[in-house]
């Protein structure tokens, strides 16, 4: 079983990229955000242009990243699910911020797949090592592709935990979805089954009620074929 966890607004208490731009970029970043919200540019183009507007130096950004607040109920959830599942943070945010926030919170090392931030010739740049030319939504991180690679040929069930637009494509392919905010509204509109949550304590309580076999949770209602890679279980 693979748990795919979004970061901004899901593991973090608020969107860390928006908070970064509010503190270290001119307000014109909001106009770029509006272009993305209206579907005029991709998420990748939106973030690249916004990140180039950041005026803070490396020390200032590192200090900011360390202040990102995370859901305090995440660690009990992690300790429980790591007994039987693979866990990965797959985010269309900034990997450098995620690693700094996890370290500051004292959370154990978790695989992180996100965008790469660097400071080149006096300008902040964002690279996209986890993008995919076939990404249906033009994200910097194609969550479907990363989840497919992680699940490999085993056709293991994929559980998505997310809150926003970058999670919507994977929600249509995952075997089980925990959703809140705009992702929950999307799932309702598209008739995608999901469980709503506010914090990881809600998710943990739900998982503990899943049927189990030999002490390991199973999802009896899951399809017999992986919707992500089409491999029969």
Q: Lowest-pLDDT range, 28-37, 135-144, 173-182, 199-208?
A: 135-144
**Assigned architecture for domain 2-14+70-114+130-217:** 3-Layer(aba) Sandwich (3.40)
pLDDT of 226 reads 41
Lowest-confidence region among 120-129, 149-158, 176-185? 149-158
Q: Going along 73-140, which residue ranges are E strands?
A: 86-94, 112-120, 123-127
Please state, in angstroms and as integers, the Cα–Cα distance from residue 138 to each residue in 94, 132, 162, following that order.
Answer: 16, 8, 18
Closest by CA to 139, choosing from 76, 93, 70, 186, is 93
Show the tokens assigned to 111. Answer: 């695989």
Domain residue extents for the chain: 2-14+70-114+130-217, 17-66
53's tokens: 């507007």
Window from 30-39, 115-124, 136-145, 219-228 with minimum mean pLDDT? 219-228
pTM: 0.91
- β-pair type (123-127, 112-120): antiparallel
pLDDT in tens, 95-152: 999 999 999 999 878 999 999 999 988 899 999 999 998 888 889 999 999 999 998 7
Average pLDDT along the chain:
90
DSSP secondary structure letters along 39-51: TSS-HHHHHHHHH
């Amino acid at each position: 079983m693979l748990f795919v966890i979004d970061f901004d607004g899901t593991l973090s208490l608020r969107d860390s990229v928006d908070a970064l731009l509010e503190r270290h970029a001119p307000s014109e970043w909001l106009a770029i955000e509006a272009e993305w919200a209206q579907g005029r540019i991709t998420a990748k183009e939106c973030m690249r242009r916004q990140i180039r507007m950041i005026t803070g130096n490396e020390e200032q950004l590192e200090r900011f990243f360390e202040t990102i607040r995370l859901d305090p109920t995440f660690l009990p959830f992690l300790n429980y699910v790591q007994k039987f599942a693979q866990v990965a943070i797959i985010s269309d945010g900034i990997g450098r911020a995620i690693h700094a926030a996890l370290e500051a919170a004292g959370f154990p090392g978790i695989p992180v797949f996100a965008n790469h931030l660097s400071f080149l010739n006096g300008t902040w740049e964002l690279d996209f090592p986890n993008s995919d030319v076939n990404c249906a939504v033009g994200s910097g991180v194609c969550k479907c592709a990363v989840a497919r690679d992680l699940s490999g040929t085993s056709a293991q069930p994929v559980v998505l935990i997310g809150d926003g637009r970058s999670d919507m494509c994977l929600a249509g392919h995952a075997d089980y979805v925990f959703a809140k905010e705009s992702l929950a509204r999307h799932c309702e509109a598209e008739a995608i089954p999901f469980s709503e949550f506010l914090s990881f304590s809600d998710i943990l309580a739900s998982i503990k009620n899943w049927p189990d076999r030999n002490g390991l949770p199973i999802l009896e209602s899951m399809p017999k074929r992986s919707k992500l890679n089409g491999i029969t279980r």
